[in-house]
Structure 1
Amino acid sequence: MLKKISSTFGSWPVLKQIEKNNPNRQFITLSNTSIHNDFQLLDVSGQDPVFANPLNYFVKFHHGNYVWNGFYRFAFMTLSEEEIKVLNAKVAQLASRNQMPMGLNDFFVLQPEKRPNERVLLTTWQLDSDYAIWRRSASYEPFKIYSDSGAYNYHDANYTAYRLHSLPS
């Protein structure tokens, strides 16, 4: 069971050098879907980070099969202790259903290491269209308040797993 995910941002050559220098780690290189040449490197080994300035996240909840390809949706929010309990209940209810949303690979609730009242909902999908369909479904309704109300310091980012063979050298 994965307990920690670390992240860093940088140029393609810098992130590839980090990977080359740490062959024993499991890294996922992500490309921002809206900003050209904006890359993020995730270390999903669960070990202490090797990055100079890591963003470390504790995995508070996970449901899925650790499928590290496809479309990534990061949703960031700041919550009170009570609101965290409510979010946890919503996540548990979604996970307890017999059928998760179509195309959903993994659903994580992450806590930034240095910000205990923040949560990141990280969902990974087979396709970005699978995520778009879920956003219009009844199972997404309990989560809509976080993005729509303006009360939770909500922001999000979309990435795709970058494949080495599709990049210029």
Structure 2
Amino acid sequence: MVDKISSTFGSWPVLKQIEKNNPDRQFITLSSTSIHNDLQLLDVSGDPSVFANPLIYRVKFHTGNFSWNGFYRFSFMTLSKEEIKVLDAKISQLATPERLPLGLNDLFVLQPQKRPNERVLLTIWQLDSDYSIWRRSESYEPFKIYSDSGAYNYHDSNYTAYQLHSLES
């Protein structure tokens, strides 16, 4: 079980050097779908971060298969304590086997380490079209308020797995 994900951004040579210097870690290199040369490196080992200036997220919830491959959608929002409870309830309803969207590999609810009222929904899809189909489905309706209302400091970013790195078992 992954209880923490660390993230950093940088150029290809810098991120490759971090990986080379830490062969015992499980890293995933992500490439932005909208900004050329915007690379992000995720450390999903759960160990203390090796990054100089990491973004550290606590995993509050996860469902899925830890495939770490595909289309990544990061949705960032700021919520009150009551709104966090509502979001958690919506996630619990979505995370039932009969309601999980087709093509969804993993669903994470992340909390930035130093910002308790912020949440990041990280969804990992087989294809970007699977995410697009979900956005038009009934099961997405409870989540539209976060992106559409402007009240939650909502922003998002999309990435694809640039190169998958996994530890040998």
TM surpasses 0.5: yes
Q: Aligned AA for 2:4?
A: K
Conserved? CA contact 2:28–2:163, under 8 Å: no
Matched length: 164
Give a deviation string over 1:26-82, Cα, whole Å, max 9, x none: 000000000000000000000000000000000000000101011000000000000
Q: Specify the alignment match of 1:125 in structure 2.
A: 125
Give a deviation string over 1:93-125, Cα, whole Å, max 9, x none: 001242411100000000000000000000000
How many angstroms apart in 1 are the aligned matches of 2:97 and 2:82? 23
How many angstroms apart in 1 are the aligned matches of 2:163 and 2:80? 38
Q: Specify the alignment match of 1:75 in structure 2.
A: 75
Conserved? CA contact 2:99–2:139, under 8 Å: no
Root-mean-square deviation (CA), in Å?
Answer: 0.9
How many angstroms apart in 2 are the aligned matches of 1:157 and 1:100? 21
How many angstroms apart in 1 are the aligned matches of 2:134 and 2:67? 18
TM-score scaled by length of structure 1: 0.95
1:1-150 matches, cutoff 5 A: 1-150=1-150
Percent pairwise identity:
81
Q: Aligned AA for 1:160?
A: T
How many angstroms apart in 2 are the aligned matches of 1:98 and 1:37? 38
How many angstroms apart in 2 are the aligned matches of 1:143 and 1:45? 29
How many angstroms apart in 1 are the aligned matches of 2:39 and 2:31? 5
Q: Secondary structure at the match of 1:89?
A: helix
Q: Aligned AA for 2:160?
A: T
TM-score scaled by length of structure 2: 0.95
How many angstroms apart in 2 are the aligned matches of 1:98 and 1:138? 13
Q: Aligned AA for 2:16?
A: K
How many angstroms apart in 2 are the aligned matches of 1:144 and 1:97? 21
Q: Which runs of 5+ in 1 are unaligned?
A: 165-169
Q: Which runs of 4+ in 1 moved over 6 A?
A: none
